[in-house]
A = this chain, B = another copy of it.
Amino acid sequence: MKAFVHVALKKTVLDPQGQTICRSLASMGYTGVKEVRQGKFFEIELENGADPERARREIERIAREVLTNPVIEDFTYRLEE
Protein backbone atom coordinates (compact mmCIF):
# COMPACT_ATOMS: atom_id res chain seq x y z
CA MET A 1 0.00 0.00 0.00
CA LYS A 2 1.20 3.49 -0.83
CA ALA A 3 0.38 6.88 0.67
CA PHE A 4 0.86 10.24 -0.98
CA VAL A 5 1.14 13.23 1.35
CA HIS A 6 1.14 16.77 -0.02
CA VAL A 7 2.40 19.59 2.19
CA ALA A 8 1.90 23.19 1.06
CA LEU A 9 2.15 26.62 2.61
CA LYS A 10 -1.22 27.87 3.84
CA LYS A 11 -3.00 30.13 1.37
CA THR A 12 -2.50 33.06 3.76
CA VAL A 13 1.28 32.55 3.94
CA LEU A 14 3.52 34.32 1.44
CA ASP A 15 5.44 31.96 -0.87
CA PRO A 16 8.57 33.85 -2.02
CA GLN A 17 9.97 30.78 -3.79
CA GLY A 18 6.80 30.47 -5.89
CA GLN A 19 6.86 34.22 -6.62
CA THR A 20 10.46 34.00 -7.81
CA ILE A 21 9.60 31.12 -10.15
CA CYS A 22 6.60 33.10 -11.44
CA ARG A 23 8.74 36.17 -12.18
CA SER A 24 11.44 34.05 -13.80
CA LEU A 25 8.88 32.38 -16.05
CA ALA A 26 7.55 35.79 -17.12
CA SER A 27 11.07 37.01 -17.92
CA MET A 28 11.67 33.83 -19.95
CA GLY A 29 8.62 34.57 -22.09
CA TYR A 30 6.04 32.29 -20.47
CA THR A 31 3.35 34.91 -20.41
CA GLY A 32 0.33 32.80 -19.48
CA VAL A 33 1.30 32.22 -15.85
CA LYS A 34 -0.50 34.21 -13.15
CA GLU A 35 0.75 32.62 -9.92
CA VAL A 36 3.02 29.78 -8.78
CA ARG A 37 3.01 28.12 -5.38
CA GLN A 38 5.50 25.45 -4.43
CA GLY A 39 5.03 22.53 -2.06
CA LYS A 40 6.48 19.17 -1.09
CA PHE A 41 5.11 15.70 -1.50
CA PHE A 42 6.04 12.42 0.12
CA GLU A 43 5.50 9.01 -1.43
CA ILE A 44 5.30 6.58 1.50
CA GLU A 45 5.46 2.84 0.90
CA LEU A 46 3.77 0.92 3.70
CA GLU A 47 4.44 -2.65 4.83
CA ASN A 48 2.39 -5.19 2.89
CA GLY A 49 -0.78 -6.44 4.47
CA ALA A 50 -1.39 -3.28 6.48
CA ASP A 51 -4.97 -2.83 7.63
CA PRO A 52 -6.33 0.09 5.53
CA GLU A 53 -8.00 1.85 8.46
CA ARG A 54 -4.91 1.51 10.67
CA ALA A 55 -2.71 2.68 7.75
CA ARG A 56 -4.94 5.71 7.23
CA ARG A 57 -4.64 6.70 10.89
CA GLU A 58 -0.86 6.20 10.89
CA ILE A 59 -0.38 8.26 7.70
CA GLU A 60 -2.59 11.03 9.07
CA ARG A 61 -0.50 11.15 12.28
CA ILE A 62 2.78 11.12 10.34
CA ALA A 63 1.53 13.92 8.08
CA ARG A 64 0.28 16.02 10.99
CA GLU A 65 3.06 15.45 13.52
CA VAL A 66 6.17 14.89 11.41
CA LEU A 67 5.85 16.20 7.87
CA THR A 68 3.88 19.41 8.40
CA ASN A 69 4.66 22.61 10.29
CA PRO A 70 1.12 23.42 11.45
CA VAL A 71 1.89 27.11 11.94
CA ILE A 72 2.45 27.78 8.25
CA GLU A 73 1.57 24.60 6.35
CA ASP A 74 -1.45 22.46 5.46
CA PHE A 75 -1.42 18.85 4.29
CA THR A 76 -3.58 16.49 2.27
CA TYR A 77 -3.07 12.78 1.75
CA ARG A 78 -4.46 9.83 -0.13
CA LEU A 79 -3.90 6.09 0.06
CA GLU A 80 -3.49 3.77 -2.89
CA GLU A 81 -3.64 -0.03 -2.90
Contacts and interface: CB of A to CB of B under 8 A. Distances in A.
Contacts of A33: 44-47, 58, 62
A66 to B, nearest CB: 7
A50 to B, nearest CB: 5
Q: Chain A interface residue count: which class?
A: 20 to 34
A25 to B, nearest CB: 6
A28 interface: yes
A6 B55 contact: no
Nearest to A46: B32
Nearest to A39: B41
A40 interface: yes
Interface of A: 6, 8, 18, 21, 24-25, 28, 30-47, 50, 54-55, 58, 61-62, 66-67
